[in-house]
């Protein structure tokens, strides 16, 4: 989980934030309220909200705006100015993690807009490797030179300081070079790049009464600029230089990666005749089938991280009109040149239409679909794009050897594979492809990374018939491994995050940040 700090810039005057459960029957949970800003139609709110962010879950948010007319805490006593709905994933997945939404809720009236931005805070997994040196330190010992060491303090919200690191003592020198050390960014500044960092320099004494030499203040943003004139500080008569190495930065959003989502659906005959209620492809007018539920559960979350919301949707294992040829990678929308569907609803529509025109056949071959996505991933290996393939299937795989080879080859590429098994078949082969316990191998070669996550849909069916809960649980489990898989690819290829923290925004401007 990544705690996020959401800063808001919006039209008018005070903000009421609620979190919403995935269930449409649940009531909103009040989360927080901004300060009141007087006499403006374009406020820039200071108060931030800290939320736990889960990549694999759909976290619904509602924002209500009010014009405050009195000191009453009762919102019904104030004028309602509009509201907006979104998911936390939409904010995080937007370019530069900045999302602008129109405000609504008042019939026939334009209510302005709300601008939301998110930045990581608190549970930051970034680390920095740093090294400091000093010149011409003040001599504190009567005999010999000083024995200097440094103490680092993180500033707190209330103006106090908390110690977060001490260097080793360098004996008998006025020009020490301290050893490099690695520290979590969270420990230095709690994820706030502009927060003050205080550094004190002491002369070590055996009895613990260390002599104070001097101090200086800086920030993580300044330290991140590396060795330069910007990182030279006067401490009495000391000059300190910092070196910052971002080689241990791990958080994937710093890579500014575009996630590309592809869907592949099993059209083999083992699914049963779609016109019969026993079929896994049966279109019940009152309830989605397992294929549709799995697609909607995973797709509605991952689409927040795909900027254009246009997804290639493919089928496999069917005979296609007009000649009845068998295909293992055909576009659901029938357009070979442009297999993209508009959003998850567009994929569902194309899926329903395909069932009317193709003949379910076989066998169940995965390799063509995996190689199809791998060909696109192979063309973009610089970390700017990452590909996620969702395969929904009912049966025993027919081309196991070829699929293993495709997975081993795909493990070298920026891609992950999610397999959801529907129906009551035995899925032993699918478990074998999920390399959690034993890494997939082909022709004596092990996959570089584990890129496959398999789950059987039946394990997530809620006994009470609550399909919303089923879908939320399914999505959480199948998507939980994607961030780590993405990061493992970046590390394996030496792709580093953007080392430059977000630029400072002057007061009066919206603060645009990227996680």
Instruction: Report d(CA 48, CA 5) in Å as an integer.
Output: 6
At 367-408, the pLDDT tens digits run 999 999 999 999 999 888 999 999 999 978 999 999 999 999
To the question of domain 126-248 being in CATH 2.30.110.10, the answer is no
* CB proximity list for 166: less than 8 A, separation 6 or greater: 149, 150, 151, 152
Predicted pLDDT of residue 158: 65
Predicted pLDDT of residue 465: 64
Q: Which has more pLDDT, 419 or 129?
A: 419
At 430-480, the pLDDT tens digits run 888 987 778 899 999 999 999 999 988 888 876 666 666 677 778 888 888
Q: Where are the domains of the chain?
A: 11-117, 126-248, 257-493
* CB proximity list for 186: less than 8 A, separation 6 or greater: 122, 123, 124, 126
pTM: 0.63
Q: Which has more pLDDT, 292 or 154?
A: 292
Average pLDDT over residues 310-325: 95
Q: Is 341 helix (H, G, I), strand (E, B) or coil?
A: strand
pLDDT band, very low/low/confident/very high, at 322 (cuts 50, 70, 90): very high
Average pLDDT over residues 487-511: 56
* CB proximity list for 428: less than 8 A, separation 6 or greater: none
Question: Helix 367-378 to helix 400-410 angle, to the nearest 10 degrees?
Answer: 20
In angstroms, what CA-CA distances link 254 with 16, 93, 384, 501?
A: 30, 12, 11, 9
pLDDT band, very low/low/confident/very high, at 15 (cuts 50, 70, 90): low
Predicted pLDDT of residue 256: 66
Q: Is 479 helix (H, G, I), strand (E, B) or coil?
A: helix
Give the architecture-level CATH label for domain 257-493: 3-Layer(aba) Sandwich (3.40)
At 133-143, the pLDDT tens digits run 888 888 876 66
- The count of residues in the chain is 515
pLDDT, mean over the chain: 80
Predicted pLDDT of residue 349: 96
Same fold for the domain at 11-117 and the one at 126-248? yes
Cα dihedral 502, 503, 508, 512 sign = negative
DSSP secondary structure letters along 54-89: -TTS--EEEEEEEE--SS-S-GGGSEEEEEEEEEHH
Closest CA to 215 of 236, 230, 200: 200
At 68-119, the pLDDT tens digits run 888 888 888 888 999 999 988 888 888 878 889 999 999 999 999 998 888 6
Residue 489: pLDDT over 60:
yes
CATH annotation of 11-117: 2.60.40.150
């Amino acid at each position: 989980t990544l705690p996020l700090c959401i800063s808001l810039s919006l039209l008018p005057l005070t903000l009421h934030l609620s979190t919403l459960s995935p269930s449409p029957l649940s009531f909103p949970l009040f989360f927080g309220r901004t300060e009141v800003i007087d006499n403006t139609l374009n406020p820039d709110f200071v108060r931030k909200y800290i939320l736990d962010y889960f990549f694999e879950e759909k976290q619904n948010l509602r924002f209500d705006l009010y014009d405050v007319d009195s000191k009453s805490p009762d919102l019904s006593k104030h004028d309602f100015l509009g509201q907006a709905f979104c998911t936390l994933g939409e904010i995080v997945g937007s370019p530069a993690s900045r999302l602008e939404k129109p405000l609504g809720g008042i019939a026939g009236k334009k209510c302005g807009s709300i601008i939301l931005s998110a930045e990581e805070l608190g549970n930051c997994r970034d680390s920095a490797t740093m090294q400091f040196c000093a010149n011409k330190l003040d001599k504190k010992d009567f005999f010999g030179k000083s024995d200097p060491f440094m103490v680092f303090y993180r500033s707190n919200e209330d103006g106090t300081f908390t110690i977060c690191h001490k260097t080793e003592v360098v004996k008998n020198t006025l020009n020490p070079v301290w050893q490099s050390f690695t520290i979590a960014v969270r420990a230095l500044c709690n994820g706030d790049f502009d927060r003050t960092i205080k550094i004190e320099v002491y002369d070590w004494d055996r009895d613990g009464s260390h002599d104070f030499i001097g101090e200086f203040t800086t920030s993580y943003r300044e330290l991140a600029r590396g060795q330069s004139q910007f990182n030279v500080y006067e401490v009495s008569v000391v000059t300190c230089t910092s070196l910052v190495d971002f080689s241990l930065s791990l958080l994937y959003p710093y890579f500014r990666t575009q996630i590309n989502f592809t869907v592949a659906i099993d059209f083999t005959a083992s699914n049963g005749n779609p016109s019969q209620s026993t079929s896994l492809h049966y279109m019940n007018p009152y309830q989605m089938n397992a294929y549709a539920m799995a697609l909607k559960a995973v797709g509605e979350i991952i689409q927040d991280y795909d900027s254009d919301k246009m997804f290639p949707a493919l089928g496999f294992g069917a005979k296609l009109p007009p000649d009845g040829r068998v295909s293992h990678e055909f576009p659901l929308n029938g357009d070979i040149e442009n297999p993209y569907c508009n959003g998850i609803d567009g994929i569902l529509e194309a899926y329903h239409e395909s069932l009317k025109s193709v003949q379910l056949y076989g066998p169940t071959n995965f390799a063509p679909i995996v190689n199809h996505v791998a060909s696109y991933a192979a063309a973009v290996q610089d970390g700017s794009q990452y590909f996620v393939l969702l395969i929904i299937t009912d049966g025993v795989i027919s081309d196991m050897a070829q699929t293993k080879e495709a997975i081993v080859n795909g493990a070298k590429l920026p891609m992950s594979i999610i397999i959801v098994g529907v129906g009551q078949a035995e899925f032993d082969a699918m478990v074998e492809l999920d390399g959690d316990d034993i890494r997939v191998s082909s022709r004596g070669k092990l996959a570089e990374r584990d890129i496959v996550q398999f789950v059987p849909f039946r394990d997530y069916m809620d006994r009470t018939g609550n399909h919303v809960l089923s879908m939320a649980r399914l999505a959480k489990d199948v998507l939980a491994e994607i961030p780590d898989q993405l990061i493992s690819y970046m590390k394996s290829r030496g792709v580093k995050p953007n080392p430059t923290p977000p630029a400072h925004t002057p007061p009066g401007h919206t603060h645009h940040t990227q996680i």
